[in-house]
Amino acid sequence: MRRVVGVPAIAAVVVTAVLYVASAALVVVGELTTQLQNGLTATHAASATSAFEPVLYAPNGVFAFGFLRVGDASLDLAVVHLPSSFPLWRATPARLGDWSRPATLTFDTTLVLTDEDSGVLWQTLNTVGDVVVLLNSSNLILRRYDDDSNVPPWQSFEHPSDTLVVDQNFTGSSPPLISNNRRFAFRLGKTFMALHMEFYGGKTTPMYWHHTALEAHPENATEPPVYGRLDVRGFFGLYLAGGEQKVDTLSFDTFLQNLTGEVFRRMTMDDDGNLRAYYWTDGAKDWISDYRAIAGDDRCELPTSCGAYGLCVPGGAQCQCLDNATSVTPPTCHAGEETTDLCSGDGTQQVEFDVVRRTRVSVAYKDELSPETNKTEAECEAACAGNCSCWGAVYNGASGYCYLIDFPVETMVYEADDRKVGYFKVRKLPSSKRSRMSPGVAATTAVLSLVLVVLVAAGAWFGYRLWERRWRGRAGTMEQELVPGRYKDLKSMGSSNDSFK
């Protein structure tokens, strides 16, 4: 059995060296725990310095399941590819645990993650299992001893987070692949696959890329939907549900190249909004990119590369703000992420907003928007201005197409055509927020004010001392002039009339 050594950033060590585990509930092969049985209790060490605490290993030693630190201080459960330290699957509970506090994983027919403060963070719902195993495919499954159907009560392959691996079926009913920053999603329709932006917690999901299966027939209502599967030979195949009839193939760069050695592939929804495929070979130091859904090298083709109300200039991919020509790095044209639309509480009125107009502007993903045709520029703007669910409108004076944006305005693209104009709404902040300084500015202002007060006080004190010193000097002179002298001295004092003679 091969052991993984020299794993970066991950302690691929015997689980009992890091965690307290009920040993009677473990099956240990060699030095690797390869099976968890009912009665398991594993506790995360709050003082752990490693980013990953393994509880369970795949027989090949390449994958492990355990506690994962997310960001600086959060805790999750994950299946990790040990050679690269990459999490292929995460439980992603709605409320993450705190890495600095103890957390407990238990298995008593179902897997449950709890912590002292929040109680249950995550669990495998409506499942009954006897053992938990991690397969060499990286699939985490619950098994029953008396079940001969080979269909596990629960498996991680049916609950992906942001990544698919080889031979993992992805269907229209599967949870979407959601990027780690929770801003993008990969979903499957009946005959197509698509990428979406996520707004309002997933309530609004505008599409910015899609691919329709070439041999699927959307007009045939009785045809089964498609499902996707990543193939070790280097492609993502789309098949008709219920069988192996392939209706499309998305070929990767290494398709049919017969790569030597062991190759492991994954497809991940990345945080920049692109869907990419990667592969890992023995002895590799990093994942190698093999496919991109949005294939262009220009960041302007990605939907949010310059942020809210940003303008991306192709070529150098320079970011500007829609309301001026200021370059921004990183893009911070309008801080804060929108969490609701511009409609008031009853949905009939609009909240207050400012207007930004810009020429030479377009949308990179306008093919995914449904345009209104035969409009004038004024009509296009008016269609958005009176609609509280509309955030902006882009008008093409050459074609008469009007594209209404019914989600918060993200990166627009510069196009050198004065006939392409944009109208954008910017929510007005409450007066208290508009006048409120940021914490950094407030702290700087407080320090400067304190320094100014000290300088004024010091100046006043020195001024007083200087005045006091001068006053005392004058007083001494006056005393000398008024002290009475001896009578004989009076004779020496001249007089105009010499009356004393």
Residues 6+ apart with CB under 8 A from 321: 309, 310, 311, 328, 331, 333
171: tokens are 């269907």
- Fold held by 160-295: Agglutinin, subunit A (2.90.10)
Specify the pLDDT at position 481.
Answer: 40
Task: Indicate the Cα dihedral angle 107, 111, 117, 118, nearest 10°.
Answer: -150
124, with CB counted inside 10 A (0-12, 13-18, 19+), is buried
**Per-residue confidence (pLDDT) for residue 116, from 0 to 100:** 84
Strand segments (E) across 201-286: 207-212, 226-231, 235-240, 246-251, 263-269, 275-281
Looking at per-residue pLDDT, the higher value among 299 and 287 belongs to 287
Number of Cβ within 10 Å of residue 410's Cβ equals 28
Residue pair 44/59 in contact by the 8 Å Cβ criterion: no
Name the band, by pLDDT with cuts 50, 70 and 90, for residue 151: confident
Which pTM was predicted? 0.79
How confident is the model over 159-174, as a mean pLDDT? 96
Alpha-carbon dihedral sign for residues 157, 203, 87, 299: positive
Q: Which of 81-85, 167-171, 442-446 has the lowest mean pLDDT?
A: 442-446
Domain boundaries, the chain: 1-154, 160-295, 300-435
In the chain, what percentage of residues exceed pLDDT 90? 56
Least confident piece of the model among 241-250, 382-391, 463-472, 476-485: 476-485
289 pLDDT tier (thresholds 50, 70, 90)? very high
String of DSSP letters for 101-118: S-EEEEESSSEEEEETTT
Question: Can you give the pLDDT at residue 477?
Answer: 46
Give the Cα separation of 265 and 163 in Å (integer). Answer: 10
Q: How confident is the model at residue 259 (pLDDT cuts 50, 70, 90)?
A: confident
Query: How far is it, in rounded angstroms, from Cα 432 to Cα 440?
Result: 17
Q: What average pLDDT does range 37-53 have in this prediction?
A: 90
Task: Classify 383 as helix, strand or coil.
Answer: helix
How, if at all, do strands 310-313 and 392-396 pair? unpaired
- Domain 1-154 is classified in which CATH homologous superfamily? Bulb-type lectin domain (2.90.10.10)
CA separation for the pair 157, 170 (Å, rounded): 9
For residue 319, what are its two tokens?
Answer: 């970011």
Instruction: Give strand pairing partners of 279.
Output: 265, 288
pLDDT at 427: 87
Task: Please check whether the two domains, 1-154 and 160-295, share a CATH topology.
Answer: yes
Grouping H, G, I as helix, E, B as strand and the rest as coil, residue 364 is coil
**Above 70 in pLDDT, residue 42?**
yes
> How far is 388 from 34, CA to CA, in rounded Å?
56
Q: Can you read off the two tokens belonging to residue 90?
A: 């995460």
Q: Pick the residue with more confidence: 260 or 451?
A: 260
Residue 160 has pLDDT above 90, yes or no: yes
Q: 367-416: per-residue pLDDT in tens?
A: 999 999 988 999 999 999 989 999 999 999 999 999 999 999 999 999 99
User: In a 10 Å sphere around its CB, with 0-12 CB exposed, 13-18 middle and 19+ buried, how is residue 314 labelled?
Assistant: middle
Average of per-residue pLDDT values in the chain: 82
Q: What is the tens place of the pLDDT at every residue in 54-109?
A: 999 999 999 999 999 999 899 999 999 999 999 999 999 989 999 999 999 999 99
For domain 300-435, give the CATH superfamily.
Answer: Hepatocyte Growth Factor (3.50.4.10)
Closest CA to 425 of 383, 457, 460: 383
The rounded distance, in Å, linking the Cα atoms of 43 and 363 is 50
Distance CA 218, CA 248 (A): 14
Q: Would you state the torsion angle of the CA atoms of residues 214, 215, 219, 220, taken in this order, to the nearest 10 degrees?
A: -160
Q: In the numeric block, which tokens belong to residue 330?
A: 């990183």
